[in-house]
Amino acid sequence: MKPSAENVRLAKEIHSRLDLLAVPNTAAVRAIRRECSARIASAAPESVVQLALYLLGQNSDLLRFFSYELVSRSPGTLPLTKAKYEARSTRRWLGQAIVSMPGRIR
């Protein structure tokens, strides 16, 4: 599924904000994620998952962590990700978000 124009715009903004972090530690990344979560609080869970998948496609550890945080903190998204995981065996979807991060974000 092609991401919406709004999700593409928001993903670019998220990427830019993360790039500007002098010290991209967990607290700083989570602060940006909380702002993003507040902005998309009324969005459909499918839209949130679509945004997270788009961010994952950017091949960035910070964006992978951000995506994991976004989905894990957004109501209604985890059942959707479970269905995607089971239907398409996208182990990378959430699993690698945690496994590949040791030592990268503190």
For the segment 50-73, what is each residue's pLDDT rounded down to a tens digit?
898 899 888 888 999 998 888 887
pLDDT for the residue numbered 57: 87
Asked if pLDDT for residue 44 goes beyond 50, the answer is yes
pLDDT tens figures, 10-24: 999 999 999 999 999
Q: Could you tell me what percent of the chain has a pLDDT over 90?
A: 41
Asked if pLDDT for residue 93 goes beyond 70, the answer is no
Write the CB contacts of 81 (distance below 8 Å, at least 6 apart in sequence).
49, 71, 93, 94
Asked if pLDDT for residue 77 goes beyond 80, the answer is no
Domain regions of the chain by residue span:
5-99
pLDDT for the residue numbered 86: 55
pLDDT for the residue numbered 82: 60
Q: Which two tokens stand for residue 7?
A: 């999700």
More confident residue, 74 or 27: 27
Cβ–Cβ under 8 Å, residues 81 and 94? yes
Please, what is the average pLDDT of the chain? Answer: 79
